A and B are shown apart, each in its own frame.
Chain A
Amino acid sequence: MENNAFYVALTLLLNLDASLFQIVALSLQVSLLAVLIAALLGFPLGAAVAIWRFPGRGGMIVVLNALMGLPPVVAGLMVYLLLSRAGPLGEWGLLFTPGAMILAQVVLVLPILAALSRQKVEELLGEYREQFVSLGMSKSRMMPTLLWDARFALLTVLLAGFGRASAEVGAVMMVGGNIDGVTRVMTTSIVLETGKGNLPLALGLGMVLLTLVMVINAGAYMVSELSRRRVG
């Protein structure tokens, strides 16, 4: 019975295991903050690329689309080099802290949010353009209107970004270091426990992670469906 992953997961949850709680909290904190920061940068970036025509725009779209598939370890390596003692931002002393993990995940999530929001905003602009010009709106005035009117589509985009952040292990492992009590998150714990042969615990953690992602997605889906139905 104690070797059953469900049993282990349930025991972990029911006992409100302090170290598990810490790991889960840190995972959520890192991924949610990373997605928030990436959204604040990525949505306006995506909207700007959708609205303005400038030289190199096509290239920029290709690069953004390609970076959606950036391997987490590559993102991790870049941030590692940036933050390592000899790196340009070494003075910040961020390496092997949650801050470094957030930065690495921002690098991973930003292209997803920018590329997908660019698509959504451009679709909407195609529909609204004549009306906007008729109202005498400047391009910079169009941006907030488009971002707000694309809000339901952008919520889905946000979920895609959160999925990427919460599921990846390579980047946070490299720049966080999986230090117990400091930078250990669910995905890095799962890797560690699997390596130690503690498969039930690893599976239990996996199930907790899956459940969390499901709950967040279900919540977002319900919010978006309810309001979509209301707004039409």
Chain B
Amino acid sequence: MTSFHVPSLASFIISPPPELCFEDVIFKHEDKVLLGPCSFTLKGSGPTFVMGPNGAGKSLLLRLSHSLLQPTQGRITWSGGPGPRQAMVFQHPVLLRRSAVANLVHALAVNKVPRKNRVKLAHDALERFGLTACSSTPARVLSGGEQQRLALARAWVLSPQVLFLDEPTSALDPAAIKAVEAAVQEFHQRGTRVVMTTHDLHQAKRLAGDILFLSGGKVREHTPAEAFFDKPVSREAQAFIAGELVE
């Protein structure tokens, strides 16, 4: 977290993405256990897809991992010291009431990137995500798909070692979904650890490296994606894949 640099491809090959470890984590709200106890370690290359029925605790798990919430009990740790550089993309992107490029410049300024580099980095990211034409358009008047791409571009300029995405495509049309999936692949190929929630089984089949399956606030299964879709172990996951209602 100390110095900001534009990562070269080589630096990723050398440094694998940091591992995330949950140890007996419990999250309670008003004495009601909403998540846990759960223990798991995210290693391997991912992308990790957190799946499960509504209310299973998927968003909660992401927010705990990203330190937006603190666990009531248990520990959340990262390999290689304290929190790595990380970013999160929300279901409904939260964009500032400024132009697209100003949104990226703001994120860079907050992260203490030298002033002279900000505009260049911002425009590079806009170009990468196909937003060059709307760089001076107010972020709030962009279409839903463009807004989500801008949120991804904002994450991109921060060169996160870990990227969390909370149902980033659930409010988008197919073309926009395709663009977001391509972006997720780019993050993955750049060596970022991607952790994402989705309801879309097909999307998980297309992108996932491993699946963390939750239901009722507990981790039921953490397996490579192929194994998960071929032969789910837990009864809940079998039912989920079969499209049944899961408690």
- For A150, give the chain B residue with the smallest CB separation: B97
| CB–CB B94/A141 < 8 A | no
Contact B110 A141 (CB under 8 A): yes
Nearest CB of chain B from residue A231's CB, rounded to whole Å = 4
B43: Cβ under 8 A from any A Cβ? no
CB distance from A133 to the nearest CB of B (A): 5
| Cβ of A192 to closest chain B Cβ, rounded Å | 46
Give the segment of A56-64, A124-132, A206-214 that binds chain B: A124-132
Question: Contact between A149 and B66 (Cβ–Cβ < 8 Å)?
Answer: no
In the assembled complex, which residues on chain B have CB atoms less than 8 Å from the CB atom of A128?
94, 96
Q: Pick the contact of A232: B63, B87, B90, B97 (CB < 8 A).
A: B97
- Which chain A residue has the least Cβ–Cβ distance from B164? A134
Chain B's closest residue to A137 (CB) is B110
Complex contact B68–A133 (CB within 8 A): yes
Is the CB–CB distance between A145 and B96 below 8 Å?
yes
- Closest B residue to A228 by beta carbon equals B97
Closest residue on chain A to residue B94 by CB atoms? A131
Q: Mark B78-116, 1 if CB is under 8 A from A, else 0.
A: 000000000110100010111000000011001100000
CA–CA, A135 to B97, complex, Å?
Answer: 16
Residue of A nearest to B142 (CB): A232
Tell me whether A230 is interfacial, beta carbon within 8 Å.
yes
Q: Is the CB of B94 within 8 A of A149?
A: no
With A133-B68, A137-B110 in contact, do A231 and B140 touch (Cβ < 8 Å)?
yes
In Å, the complex CA distance between A135 and B106 comes to 10
Q: Give B67 Cβ to nearest chain A Cβ, in Å.
A: 8
Q: List 21 A-B contacts (CB under 8 A).
A: A128-B96, A130-B68, A130-B88, A130-B90, A131-B90, A133-B68, A134-B66, A135-B87, A135-B107, A135-B111, A135-B158, A136-B110, A136-B111, A145-B106, A149-B96, A149-B98, A151-B97, A230-B138, A231-B97, A231-B141, A232-B141
A231 to B111, CA, bound (A): 24
Question: CB-defined interface of B228-241 with A at 8 Å, one 1/0 digit per residue?
Answer: 00000000000000
Complex CA gap A133/B63 in Å reads 11
Chain A residue nearest in CB terms to B93: A131
Q: Which residues of A contact B66 (CB under 8 A)?
A: 134
Main secondary structure of the interface of A (DSSP, over half): helix
Q: Using Cβ atoms and an 8 Å threshold, which residues of chain A touch B68? A: 130, 133-134
**Of B88, B96, B98, B106, the contact of A134 (CB 8 Å cutoff):** B88
What chain A residues lie within 8 Å of B106 (beta carbons)?
145
- On chain A, the number of residues with a Cβ less than 8 Å from chain B's Cβ atoms is 18
Interface members, chain A 121-165 (any B CB < 8 Å) = 127-128, 130-131, 133-137, 141, 145, 148-149, 151-152
Expressed in whole angstroms, the Cα–Cα distance for A117 and B201 within the complex equals 46
Further contacts, 19 of them, CB under 8 A, given A134-B68, A135-B87, A152-B97: A127-B94, A128-B96, A130-B63, A130-B68, A130-B88, A130-B94, A133-B68, A134-B87, A135-B111, A136-B110, A136-B111, A141-B110, A145-B106, A148-B98, A151-B97, A230-B138, A231-B98, A231-B140, A232-B140
Binary flags per residue of B48-75, CB closer than 8 Å to A gives 1, else 0: 0000000000000001001110000000
Report the nearest A residue to B67, measured CB to CB. Answer: A133
A152 to B97, CA, bound (A): 10
**Docked pose: A70 CA to B52 CA in angstroms:** 56
Residues of A within 8 A of B94 (CB): 127-128, 130-131
Complex CA gap A152/B98 in Å reads 12
How far is the CB of A138 from the nearest CB of chain B, in Å? 9
Chain A residues near B139: list those with CB within 8 A: 232
8 closest pairs, A vs B, by CB? A232-B140, A232-B141, A131-B94, A231-B138, A134-B88, A149-B97, A232-B138, A135-B110
Q: Point out the residues of chain B lying under 8 angstroms from A148, CB to CB.
A: 98
Complex interface: chain A residues within 8 A of B90 (CB): 130-131
Query: Roughly how many angstroms separate A231 CA and B100 CA in the complex, as a whole number?
Result: 10
Return the chain B residue nearest A127 by Cβ.
B94
Output the least CB separation between B66 and chain A (Å).
6
Q: In the assembly, what is the distance between CA of A55 and CA of B178, in Å?
A: 49
CA distance A128 to B63 in the complex (A): 15
Instruction: Kindly state the separation between the CA atoms of A140 and B164 in the bound complex, as whole angstroms.
Output: 25
Most buried by A among B97, B106, B158: B97
Cβ of A20 to closest chain B Cβ, rounded Å: 42
User: How far apart are the CA atoms of A135 and B160 in the complex, in Å?
Assistant: 11
Please give the distance in Å from A123's CB to the nearest CB on chain B.
13
A145 to B102, CA, bound (A): 12
